[in-house]
Amino acid sequence: MWGLTINVKRKVLKGDITLKAAVGVAAVSITCLLGLLAVELFLGSTRSITKFGLPFVEGTTWDPVHDIFGALPFIYGTLLTSAIALLLGFPISIGVAIFLTEKLKTKKAIANVLGTLIELLAAVPSVIYGLWGLFFLSPLLRDFVETPLHRYLGFVPLFSGTPFGLDFFTAGIILAIMIIPTVSAVSKDILNAVPNSQREAMYSLGATDWEVIQKSVLPYARSGIFGATILGLGRAVGETMAVTMVIGNTPSITASLFSGGYTLSAVIANEFTEAASPLYLSALVELGLILFFVALAINVFARLLLWRMR
């Protein structure tokens, strides 16, 4: 009798331990993977870091022929295109989120369909955005937006370059489209989480629908919406294919939106496999490291903001 009990106990325990160990290994491997990633990125950048040091971040020259490398044009391009993306994508995303949560309260079915359709935007692979951007959007923007802007407002530095269509502007617009699903989906969740009692309090004071949104829902959801936006920014910063196919791929730092440019991710995609010298390769890896840090910082920030809403 006793023997039986002891045997059963041991078997059960063994199974438990095996399971925990097995899945524990899986969990450990993720941490190890991340560690390895960070280590390899650093190691790969060492040559470039020791050669150029901190000035690498401010360096404006990218000259593979003479082995001189600087990251600034790419940091600039990444920031500029992301800024355009946020500027245009944020209002649209918020509008969508507001419409779906506040205006379609009574028509859940339509809200669901619309929501799905917008999420389909996220299902389109980046390279197809790029293809569409290259052949459809870029010529369209060049002829109907950039050229008129340049002709009539060309004295403004932003619109000063001769528009070719493959430039910061087009890249920014494509990114704006690409972040809409993210920002609007998260914002929608945030808005839904605002307690109804807040809306009712506002309604009972005699407020219109919009006033309820503007004065009680949006302020309450402020930090969450900000977090959603930062999340979208993180997405924009890491985008590669769509950007590289429409941005022109020339390192440049200029005020003109119609100038060709380059981003951190685009230059890596384009030049990595052609990198002739070890220093060249290392510089590109260092760009990857910078990109990683930028994306990390943005995402940690976003999560902090979203955490506050819960």
Partner 1 sequence: MSDYQTTTSKLETKRLKAGFGKLEVLKNVNLQIPERSITAIMGPSGCGKTTFIRCLNRLHELTPGAKVEGEVILDGANIYSPKVDPVAIRRRIGMVFQKPNPFPTMSIYDNVLAGLKLNGVKDKKILDEVAERSLRMAFLWDEVKNHLKKPGTALSGGQQQRLCIARSLAVEPEVILMDEPCSALDPIATAKIEELIVSLKRDYTVVIVTHNMQQAARVSDFTAFLYIGELIEYGSTKDIFENPKSEITEKYITGKFG
Partner 2 sequence: MVQNLESEKVDLIIAGISLAPGVARRRRIVNKVMTGLVFTAVVLAMVPLVLILGEVVLRGAPAINLSFLTNLPRPVGVPGGGIANALVGSFIMVGLATLIAVPIGVGAGIFFSEWPESRLSIVSSFANDVLAEFPSIVIGIFVYVVIVLSTKTFSGFAGALALSIIMIPIIARTTEESLKIVPITLREASMALGVSRWRTVIRVVISTGKSGLATGILLAVARAAGETAPLILTALGSFYFPQGLFQPTAALPLLIYTYGISPFRDWQTQAWGAALILIIIMLAFNLSVKFFIGRRPAERAET
The span from the CA of 257 to the CA of 37, in Å, is: 35
Task: Write out the E strands in 185-276.
Answer: none
- Which amino acid type is present at position 263? T
Are the CB atoms for 216 and 201 separated by under 8 Å? yes
* 114: partner contacted, choices partner 2, partner 1, none (Cβ within 5-8 A by kind): partner 2
Shortest gap between Cβ of 225 and partner 1 (angstroms)? 13
Overall size of the chain counted in residues:
310
CA atoms lying within 13 Å on the CB side of residue 262: 21
The span from the CA of 160 to the CA of 165, in Å, is: 13
Please identify which residue in 222, 223, 279, 292 interacts with partner 2, judged by CB under 8 A: 292
* 272: partner contacted, choices partner 2, partner 1, none (Cβ within 5-8 A by kind): partner 2
The span from the CA of 93 to the CA of 89, in Å, is: 6
Nearer to partner 1, 83 or 207 (CB): 207
- x/- mask, partner 2, residues 100-119, rule CB under 8 A, reads x--x----------xxxxxx
Site for partner 2 in 119-178 (CB under 8 A): 119-132, 134-136, 177
| Window of 93-101, 150-158, 216-224, 252-260 that interacts with partner 2 by CB under 8 A | 93-101
The site for partner 1 (CB under 8 A) is made up of 105-106, 108, 195, 197-208, 211, 215-216, 219-220, 222
Of the candidates 177, 160, 7, the residue with the CA atom closest to the CA atom of residue 93: 177
Shortest gap between Cβ of 197 and partner 1 (angstroms)? 4
Nearer to partner 1, 80 or 212 (CB): 212
CA atoms lying within 13 Å on the CB side of residue 80: 28
The residue with tokens 């369209």 is 140
**Is residue 26 within the footprint of partner 2 (CB under 8 A)?**
yes
Shortest gap between Cβ of 182 and partner 2 (angstroms)? 6
Shortest gap between Cβ of 75 and partner 1 (angstroms)? 35
